[in-house]
């Protein structure tokens, strides 16, 4: 399989519309680099079947493919109504309480006792993805008394969003813990933690993962913005989950928040995924709206590592076309002469570490000598991620002895990873780098390449070596 001709990556969610080998391979060939398993839907057996197929496709195409397990998280929901649904009018009084009896136009159960302790008069409750809005008048340990600000039809088990409060709930539910252990046993490469509000939310997940996968924090609560830098620092990657974020924040604030998160991730060198409603109309139409195409393009201009498809690829009528469209939009943006100047303007200052010093120099050297490719030797993926943070003009060819590292790096901007045995000397490293650059069609004999690595070899986090080499004919 030839390499991608773009640097930003595509995450495609698998679901009923994309379950068989033929469908999953078609998604990969259309441009998907990472497959997302949404644990809010489907059984463990569904996910196991898809996992096995992705790995079969990986062997067929000969390229590492990342799998992202997205945990459901602590979703708040109301109980059920006697008639299945009610209609609330503006100005109505409505009560949420702990009584499990079926609801009516006057009340419904809210089976989340922890919420009753923190809610206060003047705060808002948003129901059914923000379609209905309630204002809290009063509350006690048993009931929350509200006035309907924006009414509408409310049916069983609809979601509840509380934008004004840091909720005292664990980021991992019992279901999440079961799903996490199952996903890790399968061998997924990334775990996405939903509804992260503070860096402490990541601690338990990190302890349970024990280095077996990367930890991605989904930012979909306004409270997370108060601790943004700390959350980014505590995670391995970040997702701007604009669905719930767009419910709890006014829509006009979401674009600015997205840019702020992107800047924070750029400074810290953490991969960032932009998600939700990117090509929403392609769930039922073969082409997107112009506004959606512009939305994807904006994320790429802003320096996102990856953009994500949700229902478009999981349950839509045109999953392959949606991935192909995203691929074309990214490619077109990256061809724009203005793209490079925009990316350069967004690049943050390197941190005062050996790894950043080497990778910053690697970027400069590549540019000065006109190297065809930037080559990184990495055990854990750290060197390649720091190189990606620099957003070099030349592609990044990452060489690692570990398939798990290669898969994880499929999420990172501009990184094309291959698996190769450990090297034992600088000479052996240069020879292997030149041979790989030729084989993967990044360079031809006579081209210059810039190589970054860490010594001693095979030790994680030791980036301290920069080498320039000329590719020679015998490397083939």
Could you give the C-alpha distances from 50 to 31, 36, 43, 67, 115, in angstroms and in order?
A: 18, 10, 11, 10, 37
| Residue 30, domain member (yes or no) | yes
Q: Is 122 left (phi over 0), alpha (psi -120 to 50) or beta?
A: left
Within this chain, do residues 399 and 428 fall inside the same structural domain, yes or no?
yes
Identify whether 96 is part of a domain. yes
Q: How far apart are CA 163 and CA 192, in angstroms?
A: 21
Q: Is residue 67 domain-resident? A: yes
What was the pLDDT predicted at 355? 80
Backbone angles phi and psi of 350, in degrees to 5 = -65, 150
- Mean per-residue pLDDT, 80-95: 96
Q: Are residues 70 and 117 in the same domain?
A: no
Q: Is the overall model pTM greater than 0.85, yes or no?
A: yes
Q: Which of 417, 454, 391 is nearest to 265 (CA)?
A: 391
Task: Give the side-chain half-sphere CA count within 13 A for 142.
Answer: 2
Looking at 280, 312, 339, the residue that finishes a domain is: 339
Q: Which of 163-167, 219-223, 296-300: highest mean pLDDT?
A: 296-300
Domain count along the chain: 3
* Cα–Cα nearest to 246, from 290, 217, 288, 277: 277
- Place 40 in a pLDDT band, splitting at 50, 70 and 90: very high
Residues 131-151 have pLDDT tens digits of 999 999 999 989 999 999 999
- The pLDDT value recorded for residue 460 is 67
Task: Tell me if 13 sits within 8 A of 46, measured CB to CB.
Answer: no
Last residue in a domain, options 111, 143, 161: 161
Q: Give the structural domain span for 156.
A: 85-161
Assess whether 294 and 390 both reside in one domain. no
Among 7-16, 96-105, 281-290, 361-370, the least confident range? 361-370
Reduced 3-state DSSP string for the chain: CCCCCCCCEEEEEECCCCCCHHHHHHHHHHCCCEEEEECCCCCHHHHHHHHHHHHHHHHHHCCCCEEEEECCCCCCECCCECCCEEEECCCCEEEEECCCCCECCCEEECCCHHHHCCCCCCCEEEECCCCEEEEEEEECCCEEEEEEEECEEEECCCEEECCCCCCCCCCCCHHHHHHHHHHHHHCCCEEEECCCCCCCHHHHHHHHHCCCCEEEEEECCHHHHHHHHHHHHHCCEEEEEHHHHHHHCCHHHHHHHHHHHHHHHHHHCCCEEEECCCCHHHHCCCCCCHHHHHHHHHHHHCCCCEEEECHHHHCCCCHHHHHHHHHHHHHHHHHCHHHHHHHHHHCCCCCCCHHHHHHHHHHHHHHHHCCCEEEEECCCCHHHHHHHHCCCCCCEEEEECCHHHHHHHHHCCCEEEEECCCCCCHHHHHHHHHHHHHHCCCCCCCCEEEEEEECCCCCCCCEEEEEEEECCHHHC
Of 40, 76, 48, 73, residue with least CA distance to 315: 40
Q: What are phi and psi of 49, to 5 degrees?
A: -60, -45
32, two tokens: 């998907």
The token pair at 135 is 């204002």
Residues 192 and 126 in one domain: no
Domain end point (choices 123, 140, 161): 161
Q: Label residue 326 by pLDDT band (50, 70, 90).
A: very high
pLDDT tens column, 334-385: 999 999 999 888 777 787 888 888 888 888 888 899 899 999 999 999 999 9
pLDDT score recorded for residue 442? 93
Residues 6 or more apart in contact with residue 105 via CB below 8 angstroms? 86, 87, 88, 92, 94
Is 347 contained in some domain?
no
Is 70 part of any domain?
Answer: yes
Q: Is the pLDDT of residue 168 over 90?
A: no
Q: Assess if residue 4 is contained within a domain.
A: no
CA distance 390 to 349: 9
Residue 245 domain-assigned (yes or no): yes
Confidence bin at 169 (pLDDT 50/70/90): confident
- Whether 370 maps to a domain, the answer reads yes
Tell me: do 52 and 156 sit in the same domain.
no
What pLDDT score does 476 carry?
Answer: 46
Is 165 a residue whose pLDDT tops 90?
Answer: no
Same domain, 315 and 358: no
pLDDT at res. 437: 93
- Rounded to an integer, the average pLDDT of 33-62 is 97
Verify that 137 and 283 share a domain, yes or no: no
Give the domain CATH number at 281: 3.20.20.60
pLDDT at residue 348 in the model:
74
- Note whether 197 and 55 are same-domain residues: yes
Find the CATH number of the domain harbouring 425: 3.40.1380.20
Average of per-residue pLDDT values in the chain: 93
Assigned token pair, 249: 């924040």
Summarize pLDDT for 206-222 with one digit per residue, the tens.
999 999 999 999 999 89
Give the least confident one: 27-31, 153-157, 166-170, 471-475: 471-475
Residue 273 near residue 237 (C-beta atoms within 8 A) = yes
Which has the minimum average pLDDT: 91-105, 110-124, 317-331, 461-475?
461-475
Query: pLDDT > 70: what percent of the chain?
Result: 97
Same domain, residue pair 129 and 209 = no
Asked if residue 38 and residue 146 are part of one domain, the reply reads no
Kindly state whether residues 139 and 279 are assigned to the same domain.
no
pLDDT for 2 equals 65
The percentage of the chain sitting over the pLDDT mark of 90, rounded to a whole number, equals 78
What integer is the mean pLDDT of 425-433? 89
Same-domain status, 414 and 335: no
């Amino acid at each position: 399989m030839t390499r991608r001709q773009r640097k930003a990556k595509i995450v495609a969610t698998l679901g009923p519309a994309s379950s068989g080998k033929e469908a999953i391979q078609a998604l990969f060939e259309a441009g998907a680099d990472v497959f997302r398993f949404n644990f809010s839907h489907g059984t463990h057996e569904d996910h196991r079947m898809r996992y096995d197929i992705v790995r079969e496709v990986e062997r067929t195409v000969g390229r590492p493919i990342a799998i992202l397990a997205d945990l459901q998280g602590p979703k708040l929901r109301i109980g059920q109504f006697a008639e299945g649904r009610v209609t609330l009018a503006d100005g109505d009084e409505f009560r949420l309480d702990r009584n499990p009896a079926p609801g009516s136009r006057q009340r419904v159960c809210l089976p989340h006792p922890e919420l009753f302790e923190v809610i206060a008069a003047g705060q808002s409750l948003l129901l059914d993805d923000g379609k209905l809005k309630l204002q809290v008048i009063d509350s006690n340990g048993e009931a929350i008394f509200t006035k309907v600000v924006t009414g509408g039809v409310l049916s069983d088990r609809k979601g509840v969003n509380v934008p004004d409060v840091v909720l005292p709930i664990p980021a991992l539910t019992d279901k999440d813990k079961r799903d996490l252990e199952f996903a890790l046993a399968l061998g997924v490469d990334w775990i996405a933690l939903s509804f992260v509000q503070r860096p402490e939310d990541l601690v338990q997940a990190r302890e349970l993962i024990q280095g077996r996968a990367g930890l991605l924090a989904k930012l979909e609560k306004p409270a997370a913005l108060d601790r943004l830098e700390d959350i980014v620092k505590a995670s391995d990657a970040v997702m701007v989950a604009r669905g719930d974020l767009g419910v709890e924040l006014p829509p006009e604030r979401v674009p600015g928040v997205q840019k702020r998160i992107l800047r924070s991730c750029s400074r810290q060198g953490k991969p960032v995924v932009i998600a939700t409603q990117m090509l929403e109309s392609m769930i039922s139409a073969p082409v997107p709206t112009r506004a959606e195409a512009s939305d994807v393009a904006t994320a790429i201009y802003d320096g996102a590592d990856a953009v994500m498809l949700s229902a478009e690829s999981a349950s839509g009528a045109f999953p392959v076309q949606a991935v192909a469209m995203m691929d074309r939009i990214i490619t077109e943006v990256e061809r724009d002469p203005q793209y490079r100047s925009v990316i350069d303007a967004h690049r943050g200052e390197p941190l005062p570490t050996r790894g950043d010093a080497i990778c910053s120099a690697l970027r400069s050297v590549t540019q000065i000598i006109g190297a065809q490719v930037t080559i990184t030797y990495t055990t854990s993926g750290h060197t390649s991620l720091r190189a990606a943070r620099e957003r070099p003009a030349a592609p990044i060819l990452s060489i690692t002895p570990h398939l798990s590292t290669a898969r994880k790096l499929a999420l990172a901007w501009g990184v094309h990873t291959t698996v190769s045995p450990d090297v034992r000397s600088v000479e052996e490293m240069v020879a292997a780098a030149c041979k790989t650059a030729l084989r993967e069609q990044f360079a031809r004999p006579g081209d210059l390449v810039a190589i970054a690595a860490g010594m001693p070899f095979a030790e994680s986090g030791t980036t301290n070596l920069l080498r320039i080499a000329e590719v020679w004919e015998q490397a083939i």
